[in-house]
Amino acid sequence: MLILGIDYGTKRVGFALGDTTLGIIKPLKIVKKDENLLNTIKGIVKSYNVQRIVLGYPLTPLGKEGQRAKKVRRFYELLRKELNIEIMLFDERYSTQEARRLSQEEHIDHISAYIILEEYVKTL
C-alpha cells in the first residue's frame, strides 16, 4: 500500500511517501503552505496512486490538543471532504526535533513527514 505522510506546518508542508509492501519510506518534497496546497496534495495522491494519508497531529507534551493541533484537525476535515481515500491523524510529538537531529538542511518539513510516516508504519 502506498501511504503519503504529511507534516502540516505554519509556513511549509512536508511530504514523505511510503510503500508498505516494499518496506520503503522516503522524504518526498516541501511546498509552501498557500492556496495551491489542496491541488498539490490531490496531484501527489493521483500521481503516486496513494491509498492512505497519514497527517501529523501535533499534540502537546501531555497528549492534549493545543492550538496547532486544532489547525491540523481543521485541515484534516478539509482533506476528508475533498479526497476519497483514508486519512488518519497520527501523533507527531517531537518529530521536528528528531528531524533537526537527522538533517543539517534549513527546511526539514519533508524529514519530519518521513519520521511521522516511519513511526506510523511501525504500528501496522
Taking the C-alpha atoms of residue 122 and residue 110, their distance in angstroms, rounded to an integer, is 18
Total-model pTM: 0.89
pLDDT of residue 111: 87
Place of cell 521536528: 96
6-57 pLDDT tens trace = 999 999 999 999 999 999 999 999 999 999 999 999 999 999 999 999 999 9
pLDDT band at 82 (very low <50, low <70, confident <90, very high): very high
pLDDT of residue 37: 97
> Any idea of the CA torsion for 91, 96, 58, 14, to the nearest 10 degrees?
-90
Give me the domains of the chain, ranges plus CATH numbers: 2-64+76-93+108-122 (3.30.420.140)
**Beta pairing, strands 52-57 & 86-91:** parallel
Neighbouring C-beta atoms of residue 61, cutoff 10 Å: 8
State the cell numbers at 46. 493521483
pLDDT of residue 8: 96
Neighbouring C-beta atoms of residue 84, cutoff 10 Å: 6
Residue 59 is given by DSSP the state -
